Chains A and B, each alone.
Chain A
Amino acid sequence: MKFLLVLLVLIAGVWFTQKGIPWIFKGILRLVGIRWKSSPLAEKRIRRFKSIRRGYYSFVIITSLFTTSLFLEVLVNDKPVMIRYGDQVSYPAVRDLTNTWCFFMEGPLTTFDRSEDFGIPGQGPLDYTEFARLVENPEAAFGPIVEKQKSDISDLEMEIEDVRLEIEEYEADGEEPEDWLIEDLAAAEKQVVQLREGLEQLASIEKVFLDGNVGVVWPLYRHGPYKNRLDLPGTAPHDPSLYIPGLTPVRQDAMLGEQVEMEYGGRQGMRITSGMGSGDRSPLSADTKFYALKPSTDSGPVEVAGIVIVRKVSEDGLSGEVEILSITPGETLTTGLNLSTRFLETWEAPLGTSDAGIDVLPLLAYGFRVSVGFSLMVLVAGYLVGILAGAIMGYYGGWTDILLQRFIEIWGSVPFLFLIMIVASIVDPGFWVLVIFLVILRSWMAITYQIRGEFYREKARDYVQAAIGSGVSDMTVMMRHILPNSMVPVISRAPFSFVNYISSLVSLDFLGFGLPPTDPSWGRLLNQGFQFLTTSPHLVFLPVLAMATTLFLVVLIGEAVREAFDPKVFSRLR
């Protein structure tokens, strides 16, 4: 089911990117009144590009993934897309976005969800998982509370009855009943009234839940890149729970000892000892959840027989007592079972968690968006500045050209990583500061020389001279006449620059001088992998895999673009 949904989202992403966006773009152009027409030469180049399969498919994949990633908030998030309680509807997943972009709006979009508005007493923010639990199974959730309230009321009523009897005894004896008895009676009666009111309220809330007037819509993946996974047992970083036999290392930390009679909230208890399987007798700690592992019959992957939580640890820390939280139906926990903090095939955190306990899967997904968005910004801004500078140099020539050339030579030698590191060791640069830094210090120079050369050459052509002769302004000549004819180097270089900027961002984040520490980024994940080099290889493998795949696809696009726009024909004579 979930896989189908994911597939559906991806297909929708591809369709929207390849068909929808061009359609919207053309629609807007038509509305504005510009008729889009492409030159036959450009058409031919695009056709040639499409004929190079690997490049074209990479293009489709990257662009579709990026547009899909723009909707990550409703796809991968720890907040539900929508919650409903009676008339109260709210969209927590996109609240941050609406707060940022629709700050002028009042009402439900700008506030947080208060618990009491959604049927849970209290003024604090709503616990979405708790709410979802209520929605899922209201009877089970409300039953015990109602029972408790009811028994409280009957207890109180019995007490009241006793007190009444006592007072009546006093009165029968013709004495004044003592003051405190009357006070007690009044207080108890008041409390009963309150409890009954509470019960009624609870009943009305329960009715809303039972009638199905509530709803919660979760994103496809229920964990976000900012919240740490406190629900997972053990300590971060957690290994991935994608179990690949033979490749995924299994860490065995403890073993179940004999069964003993213990009372933990009426549940069964067991005694455990530490480190029997692995040889390293690592001490146990209280409140660690373990997965009881049972080797399957044909020595294949290990199965989870149950989950236990450590309640008591002996003084030497090498043995303890556990409470059994859950047992796989039809299983019993027996002596000699291995316990592990790994989750095997439970898919709790398929890609593991980072050192702060944040789920890696959302980190990678949001990191993709940040990296690609960042590089796009740097690319576009840098190329705009670069084209302008190159155009001015090539078009005007003379002293302008020479001075700018010298300036670029000097500016190009500034060790930019060095400078960014110095500045970033003082202030945490945000996304935009980093973009501006990279544009000013480095990226605009990449294209300037080629554009200069193109303009230099094109300016001498007849059509440009004719345009100049007919009195068109310099700016128009540059932008309208020359520029469209000198875009080839720009387009064929862009993908490779793009690769460079992603690498730059990853390097900066790796060194700790990039985006703020809370932002999801591949480089920071890599840095954590570097710190946990020997214990958590997934923190290196996963970001590297994500980065290398992305860059590989972009390089494929780049090769195809170069092939299509700027084909080099090598004559082979033999």
Chain B
Amino acid sequence: MSGMWTYFARRLILVPITFLVITFMVYAVLRVTPGGPIEQLENQMRAAAAQEGGGGSGGLGGTDVGLDEKAREELRAYYNLDQPIPIAYLQWLGVYPRKDRTPVTLKEREADPEFWNRVEAAWVQFRESENAYEAALQNSGAEFRGAALLVEAKEAEPGEEMFFQRAGKLLSEGLDSRGRLNQHLDSRGWQLSGARFMRPVSDTELSENSTLATLVRLAVDKDQAFEKLNEILAEQDKEASRRGSYYNVEIGFSGILQGDFGRSFTYNEDALDVITQKFPISIYFGLIGYLATWLICIPLGIGKAVHHRGLFDTSTSVLVFLGYATPGFVACLLLLVLLGGGTYWNVVPLGGFRSEGWGLWWEQGEYWRCIKDQVHHTLVPMFGYLVGSFASMTVLMKNSLLENFGADYVRTAFAKGLPEGRVIYVHALRNSLIPITAGIGHFLGIIFAGSFLIEKVCNIPGMGLLGYESIIRRDYPIILATLVFGVLIRLTGNILSDFIWAAIDPRIRFK
């Protein structure tokens, strides 16, 4: 027995290692690949600007819709993207301290009006200076790129004719030579804005030209006002963002170990809450599918084993082969086409967990209608889960029973003169159910996490669909949270399987 305990101990030790490797892999892949939350936000802003038809985009300077450098920086800090990957990963795990920002609620603000009045004053000051700066910027025709102030180079200055000519030529060649043009301009710190060449302002110009000087002063003022605002906020460990929201800042351990999975970008809710809402739905369908598989595959497997190579066995083999050849989601699709009320029969709804008015019916006491509706919605996914594991389960049952038929104890039982039914259904069947019972652990993953494909096809708002949609929307906290639960359930499920096996079958010894 001791050998087995070390075996399970080793398996259990491997769980955290595996977990760390997988989560780190996915975390790194997510961070490395482009298209993160900030880019999504900018895309949304761009789409919104395009819808407005480009008109009336007040604060967003001209053609270049998007976030300015400082706002982007703040967002990166908010989403914890400014840390290097390993540290960010450790922070996500909760073993490395991080700045945690939570929005300040209205209640908090009402609790300390004196402080917030001061903050509000500072905020107004900042906004005023920012408005002044923006007005000046629009009048001046200049642009800030990072810290550098750029103005349009309308005509070549002495000594720059060649440079200017070449730039003009490259510009006229169109988009193909845009890369070379940028390189050319970069060599002197110039930039392209639309079809204008922007050159950095020289110090002498700055001292001569009063508008530009004012602009620089206003920019500094603006930043100082913002810093002042943050200084006031820092007294109570708070921060402001340039877009007008306040955050409580705490430095501490806050990761999945502490139960903090972060806030979902799309649902704007705690990721853990989002996931726990979806769990019951997936479990419901998974469990029903699993039960259906048992109810059908075990009798079928027994029948096939008893009539091995007989007519029943051969004819049902076709079903088994078809089961191998059809993935579960494809079976769902077929059923939906046939029974979904499109072209043929209208028997089942086109997916979903329940009908819209389900809750209302339940309150009104129309229980029968509720049950009928629920059954209707369950049929297709159940069939999908059934088809998905039909073939392997049936064959497993059949082979395991056949193996037991060849065992000595069955021979003994027959030799004793026991009736055939008793030998098959009591002696042999009991032992051949062991591998199937032990398979429960492997099914845990499917039961809890649902199947991506079946949930997508049947439009079931469970874990699988959540994971799929979070990947499409790049909702990092949800992606990682579904990953964490999926991996944990699967890893422990596998061990559980082996454990159950060892517990119910004294012949099994793991080493």
| Docked complex Cα distance between A571 and B474 (Å) | 57
Q: Contact: B14 with A406, CB < 8 Å?
A: yes
Interface residues of A in 534-574 (CB under 8 A from B): 534-535, 537, 540-541, 544, 547-552, 554-556, 559, 568, 570-574
Is B275 an interface residue, CB under 8 A from the partner? no
Q: Contact: B403 with A570, CB < 8 Å?
A: yes
Is B34 an interface residue, CB under 8 A from the partner? yes
B457: which A residues are within 8 A, CB to CB? 530
B452: which A residues are within 8 A, CB to CB? 417, 511
Is A97 an interface residue, CB under 8 A from the partner? no
Residue of B nearest to A529 (CB): B333
Choose among A406, A414, A533, A541 the residue with the greatest number of B CB atoms under 10 Å from its CB. A533
Q: Contact: A413 with B342, CB < 8 Å?
A: no
B453: which A residues are within 8 A, CB to CB? 507, 510-511
**A413 touches which one: B330, B333, B491 (CB < 8 A)?**
B491
Is B25 an interface residue, CB under 8 A from the partner? yes
Residue of A nearest to B344 (CB): A537
Chain B 42-54, CB within 8 Å of chain A: the 1/0 string? 0000000000000
Is A180 an interface residue, CB under 8 A from the partner? no
Chain A 419-431, CB within 8 Å of chain B: the 1/0 string? 1011101100000
| Docked complex Cα distance between A389 and B50 (Å) | 55
The range of chain B's interface size is 35 or more
Is A280 an interface residue, CB under 8 A from the partner? no
B112-120, B150-158, B277-285, B318-326 - the one binding chain A: B318-326
Is B456 an interface residue, CB under 8 A from the partner? yes
**A425 touches which one: B341, B411, B472 (CB < 8 A)?**
B472
Q: Contact: B487 with A537, CB < 8 Å?
A: no
The count of A-to-B residue pairs whose CB atoms sit within 8 angstroms is: 137
| Docked complex Cα distance between A555 and B17 (Å) | 37
Is B256 an interface residue, CB under 8 A from the partner? no
Q: Contact: A409 with B14, CB < 8 Å?
A: yes
A529: which B residues are within 8 A, CB to CB? 333, 337
**B25 touches which one: A419, A511, A534, A572 (CB < 8 A)?**
A419
| Docked complex Cα distance between A81 and B198 (Å) | 57
Is B431 an interface residue, CB under 8 A from the partner? no
Known: A526-B330, A540-B334, A544-B334. A423 touches B350 (CB 8 A): no
Is B18 an interface residue, CB under 8 A from the partner? yes
Residue of A nearest to B33 (CB): A426
Is B479 an interface residue, CB under 8 A from the partner? yes
Residue of B nearest to A424 (CB): B471
Choose among B21, B333, B491 the residue with the greatest number of A CB atoms under 10 Å from its CB. B333
Q: Contact: B342 with A570, CB < 8 Å?
A: no
Q: Contact: A552 with B33, CB < 8 Å?
A: no
Known: A415-B22, A425-B35. A533 touches B321 (CB 8 A): no
Is A499 an interface residue, CB under 8 A from the partner? yes
| Docked complex Cα distance between A573 and B327 (Å) | 37
| Docked complex Cα distance between A415 and B329 (Å) | 18
Q: Contact: B337 with A533, CB < 8 Å?
A: yes
**B30 touches which one: A422, A535, A541 (CB < 8 A)?**
A422
Q: Contact: A423 with B406, CB < 8 Å?
A: no
Q: How distant is B110 from chain A, measured CB to nearest CB, in Å?
A: 43
Interface residues of B in 386-427 (CB under 8 A from A): 399, 402-403, 405-406, 410-411, 414, 420
| Docked complex Cα distance between A548 and B325 (Å) | 5
Q: Contact: B18 with A409, CB < 8 Å?
A: yes
Is A503 an interface residue, CB under 8 A from the partner? yes
Q: Contact: B343 with A526, CB < 8 Å?
A: no
Q: How distant is A31 from chain B, measured CB to nearest CB, in Å?
A: 40
| Docked complex Cα distance between A425 and B471 (Å) | 8
Is B26 an interface residue, CB under 8 A from the partner? yes
**A540 touches which one: B337, B420, B456 (CB < 8 A)?**
B337
Q: How distant is B20 from chain A, measured CB to nearest CB, in Å?
A: 9
Q: Contact: B456 with A418, CB < 8 Å?
A: no
Is B463 an interface residue, CB under 8 A from the partner? no
Interface residues of B in 324-352 (CB under 8 A from A): 324-327, 329-330, 333-334, 336-338, 340-344, 350
Interface residues of A in 75-111 (CB under 8 A from B): none
Q: How distant is A408 from chain B, measured CB to nearest CB, in Å?
A: 11
Q: How distant is A504 from chain B, measured CB to nearest CB, in Å?
A: 9
| Docked complex Cα distance between A570 and B452 (Å) | 39
Interface residues of A in 373-421 (CB under 8 A from B): 406, 409-410, 413-415, 417-419, 421
A537: which B residues are within 8 A, CB to CB? 337-338, 342-344
Residue of B nearest to A573 (CB): B411
A422: which B residues are within 8 A, CB to CB? 26, 29-30, 33, 471, 479
| Docked complex Cα distance between A287 and B344 (Å) | 30
Choose among A415, A510, A529, A554 the residue with the greatest number of B CB atoms under 10 Å from its CB. A415
Q: Contact: A418 with B471, CB < 8 Å?
A: yes
Is B242 an interface residue, CB under 8 A from the partner? no
B321: which A residues are within 8 A, CB to CB? 552, 555-556, 559
**A506 touches which one: B26, B327, B350 (CB < 8 A)?**
B327
Is A249 an interface residue, CB under 8 A from the partner? yes
**A503 touches which one: B18, B22, B327, B410 (CB < 8 A)?**
B327
Residue of A nearest to B473 (CB): A425
A550: which B residues are within 8 A, CB to CB? 325
A549: which B residues are within 8 A, CB to CB? 325
| Docked complex Cα distance between A572 and B14 (Å) | 43
Q: Contact: A555 with B334, CB < 8 Å?
A: no
Q: How distant is B39 from chain A, measured CB to nearest CB, in Å?
A: 11
**B406 touches which one: A426, A551, A571 (CB < 8 A)?**
A571
Q: How distant is B333 from chain A, measured CB to nearest CB, in Å?
A: 5
Is B190 an interface residue, CB under 8 A from the partner? no
Is B468 an interface residue, CB under 8 A from the partner? yes
Q: How distant is A425 from chain B, measured CB to nearest CB, in Å?
A: 6
Is B308 an interface residue, CB under 8 A from the partner? yes
Q: Contact: B467 with A418, CB < 8 Å?
A: yes
Is B486 an interface residue, CB under 8 A from the partner? yes
Q: How distant is B443 from chain A, measured CB to nearest CB, in Å?
A: 16
**B34 touches which one: A413, A426, A552 (CB < 8 A)?**
A426
Chain A 202-219, CB within 8 Å of chain B: the 1/0 string? 000000000000000000
Is B483 an interface residue, CB under 8 A from the partner? yes
Q: Contact: A552 with B322, CB < 8 Å?
A: yes
A559: which B residues are within 8 A, CB to CB? 317, 321
Q: Contact: B308 with A413, CB < 8 Å?
A: no
Residue of A nearest to B305 (CB): A570
Interface residues of B in 449-468 (CB under 8 A from A): 452-453, 456-457, 467-468
**A533 touches which one: B22, B308, B342, B456 (CB < 8 A)?**
B342
Is B490 an interface residue, CB under 8 A from the partner? yes
Q: Contact: A573 with B483, CB < 8 Å?
A: no
Q: Contact: A533 with B340, CB < 8 Å?
A: yes
A425: which B residues are within 8 A, CB to CB? 35, 471-472, 474
Residue of A nearest to B391 (CB): A555
Q: Contact: A544 with B33, CB < 8 Å?
A: no
Known: A413-B490, A507-B453, A533-B340. A418 touches B411 (CB 8 A): no
Residue of A nearest to B338 (CB): A537
Q: How distant is A556 from chain B, measured CB to nearest CB, in Å?
A: 6
**B333 touches which one: A249, A415, A544, A551 (CB < 8 A)?**
A544
Q: How distant is B85 from chain A, measured CB to nearest CB, in Å?
A: 15
Q: Contact: A414 with B25, CB < 8 Å?
A: yes
| Docked complex Cα distance between A201 and B30 (Å) | 65
A417: which B residues are within 8 A, CB to CB? 452
B330: which A residues are within 8 A, CB to CB? 506, 526, 544, 547-548
Can you name 9 A-B residue pairings with CB atoms under 8 Å? Answer: A415-B487, A421-B471, A533-B342, A540-B337, A541-B334, A547-B325, A548-B322, A555-B321, A568-B402
A residues apposed to B, CB below 8 Å: 249, 406, 409-410, 413-415, 417-419, 421-423, 425-426, 496, 499, 503, 506-507, 510-511, 526, 529-530, 533-535, 537, 540-541, 544, 547-552, 554-556, 559, 568, 570-574
- The 10 A-B residue pairs with the shortest CB-CB distance, nearest first, are A534-B342, A551-B325, A552-B325, A571-B406, A410-B18, A570-B402, A426-B33, A555-B321, A555-B324, A537-B337
Q: 8 additional contacts, CB 8 Å, given A413-B491, A421-B471?
A: A415-B487, A419-B25, A422-B26, A507-B327, A533-B333, A534-B340, A541-B337, A552-B321
